[in-house]
Amino acid sequence: MWPKRFEYFAAVALVAPIPVTAFAQADDNISENRLKQLIDDGYDALSAPTEVLDAHFSQVPMAYWQALLAGGVPVAPVYELGDALDNPWLETIGIRQSIDYPNLADTQILASPLKLDGQRLPNRAAPLLGEDVDDLLDELGYDEGEIADMRSAVVV
């Protein structure tokens, strides 16, 4: 059986206008033994086709390749950080959420990808710097006088 990555290269070669002979593992006529021999001889089974594919993939927009390869090869765009939250797919799966910070309303964030009982874990705004210091010190056993002393000494 062929490794999964070779099946993907072959699937790309079947639908994309890429010369199959440009990379050996996409040629569905090559035998598994010959491929193993090439790899044993030092043939880099990943970088050679990657260079070939990069040259072809960069000639047209990502949307073209997504449509062409959909259903046959796992394919998705890699977004820059600035574009990541604008992806409509995030809205579809409910991973983009809006939270309000005390000083910044309607902040878009990514929810936890984990679900418990079919629900995403809740998000909340992190406290502002120093906002919860008194509560934390109280939980640690400091009384109001000690906390006031720390504040006057600019410890907190």
Sequence ranges of the domains in the chain: 4-69, 79-125, 126-156
What is the maximum span of the chain, computed from C-alpha positions, in angstroms?
Answer: 82
pLDDT at 149: 94
Residues 82 and 79: their CA atoms lie apart, in Å, by: 8
Question: Residue 22 carries which DSSP code?
Answer: G
- Determine the distance from the C-alpha atom of residue 32 to the mean position of all C-alpha atoms in its chain, rounded to a whole number: 32
**Predicted TM-score (pTM) of this structure:** 0.41
Residues of the chain with pLDDT under 50: 1, 20, 24-28
**61: number of Cβ within 10 Å:** 11
pLDDT at 137: 95
